[in-house]
Amino acid sequence: MRVYVPATFEILRELNENGVFTARSGWGFAVTPTLIESFESGDEEEIAHFAFIDAARASLRLLGMGVSQHPHRRVVITADLPDEQVTLADDQGDTVVKIQPAHIALSEVAALHVDIESSEEATAKAIDAIHAADLGDEDAELAVGDADDNFMAWYDPVELPFLIELS
């Protein structure tokens, strides 16, 4: 199953150094049957975008806990995991899955997604607003939406050492 895992640059560094990382709290986001059922139309890529955005928003929450390297850049790691490692968690949200064990090897990583430098201002505002947005604050939702709309650069997993070195 393809899973979108929220991350930070520190997690990318862990993956680069150890060849494996641990999904924080064991949670990820994926195209689940519940998500598919909520659409009347749309192809798999359009539906997958919703799971990806949920992972990017979870990355905001990780950044809000405080990180030292690139504190205003969201990171999402796309991984292809064995179905038996992923459990649906519809009671947590339409895209939420539990990853058990939560360890993901570099060989399972399909892509790395990172905010570009010009997105940092919008991401910083979204980090500050994410909890208020969760509670329905419309201005906060707009700030988070601005970050959602920003481009996240795509990297092949073989580029990980260069991404870490240049950051």
Q: What is the mean pLDDT of residues 68-86?
A: 95
* 49 CB neighbour count, 10 Å cutoff: 14
Residue 132 lies in a domain: no
Question: Nearest CA to 103 among 25, 22, 26?
Answer: 22
Segment 13-37, tens digit of pLDDT: 999 999 999 999 999 999 999 998 8
Q: Indicate whether 11 belongs to any domain.
A: yes
Distance of CA 104 to the CA centre of its chain: 14
Residues written for the chain: 167
For residue 40, the enclosing domain spans 2-119+151-158
pLDDT on residue 111: 98
- In the chain, the number of structural domains is 1
Cβ atoms < 10 Å from Cβ of 16: 17
Residue 44, pLDDT score? 86
pLDDT band at 8 (very low <50, low <70, confident <90, very high): very high
Question: In what helix (H) or strand (E) does residue 155 lie, and over which residues does it extend?
Answer: strand 152-155
Q: Is 142 domain-assigned?
A: no
Predicted confidence (pLDDT) per residue in 23-76, tens digit: 999 999 999 999 988 887 778 888 999 999 999 999 999 999 988 889 999 999
Within a domain: 37: yes
Is 145 among the domain residues? no
pLDDT at 42: 73
Position 49 in a domain: yes
- What is the reported pLDDT for 38? 87
* pLDDT computed for residue 69 by the predictor: 84
Q: Is residue 44 part of a domain?
A: yes
Please state the rounded mean pLDDT for residues 80-85.
98
Q: What is the pLDDT of residues 104-159, one digit of tens each?
A: 999 999 999 999 999 999 999 999 999 999 999 999 999 999 999 999 999 999 99
> Looking at the domain assignment, is residue 82 inside a domain?
yes
